[in-house]
Amino acid sequence: MSGAGSDRAFAGSIPKIYQQYLVPLLFEPYAADLAKRLASRSVSHVLEVAAGTGAVTRALASALPERVAIVATDLNQAMLDQAASLGAGRPVEWRQADAMELPFADGTFDAVVCQFGVMFFPDKRKAFAEAHRVLRPGGLYLFNVWDRLEANEFANAVTTAVESLFPGDPPRFFARTPHGYHERARIEEDLAGGRFAGTPEIVTIPARSRARSPRAVAIALCQGTPLRSEIEARDATRLQEATDVAADAIAGRFGRGDVDGQMQAHVVTVER
């Protein structure tokens, strides 16, 4: 399976690699940011969608008062299993669910939170409408999305490197999906199409992406994301080669020791 149909396939060894390499590389700074934003509000019942391996769940569990109930969901049971095995330091309800068909009653939650998951929703307006439905009046929808590929140095470098192995049919996972939903006007239009009548606040947050080696970056992006499925769909024997090429590209640009690259995302806040 290759292309858009494989972009939501976080299975096999991906969840473990995702947690070990990708979460510290990309997600922890933005998870802390989302949790801090939500902690400034009075909430009692929070839903997280597309929770992955629980980076935001753990940040929320730490930042929010113990009385706040947290429900963390993801489409992929394997990702939830990885999240649940790590825990959150306090009770969390882990539940498999599709963001476009949430199994909750209308007006259940004070806030719906999503970290870097919106880009994967096949029908974003339907997913936004579901978030709107399960929110109480005045409830908050808080999510982030990656900015364009060129503003995220590691993902851009790895994409270019892996493309060189398959020039006739280059894998475009990062350009197509994680970094393919960054236009503010489109986000605003889709939120309006999902029944959010208010004007969303959209702020751009730059951060630094750090790893102990170029190979850690290459493993994270080539083996801990659906880019792996794209590579293996083209030639299942070339995953290690692709990882090596990506590591060399990172080393050539950022050095062979600790590496530090620019990353950038939009944070979107809108009330029901």
Residue 115's domain is classified under what CATH number? 3.40.50.150
Closest by CA to 217, choosing from 261, 271, 267, 181, is: 261
Per-residue pLDDT band at 15 (split at 50, 70, 90) = confident
Can you say how many angstroms the Cα of residue 203 is from the centroid of all Cα atoms in its chain? 17
Length of the chain: 272
**pLDDT over 70 (residue 184):** yes
> Which residues sit opposite 23 in a β-bridge?
none
For 123-140, the pLDDT digits (tens) are: 999 999 999 999 999 999
Mean pLDDT, rounded, of the chain: 94
Rounded CA-CA distance 272/269 in Å is: 10
> Residues near 248 by Cβ (< 8 Å), separated by ≥ 6?
161, 214
Number of domains comprising the chain: 1
What's the pLDDT score for residue 16? 87
User: Domain of 197?
Assistant: 4-271
Strand order in the sheet with 109-115: 93-96, 69-74, 45-48, 109-115, 135-146, 259-271, 201-211
Rounded CA-CA distance 145/181 in Å is: 7
Q: pTM score, two decimals?
A: 0.93
**Cα dihedral 109, 110, 115, 119 in deg (nearest 10):** 70
Torsion region of 224: left, alpha or beta (phi above 0 gives left; psi -120 to 50 gives alpha): alpha
Per-residue pLDDT band at 1 (split at 50, 70, 90) = very low
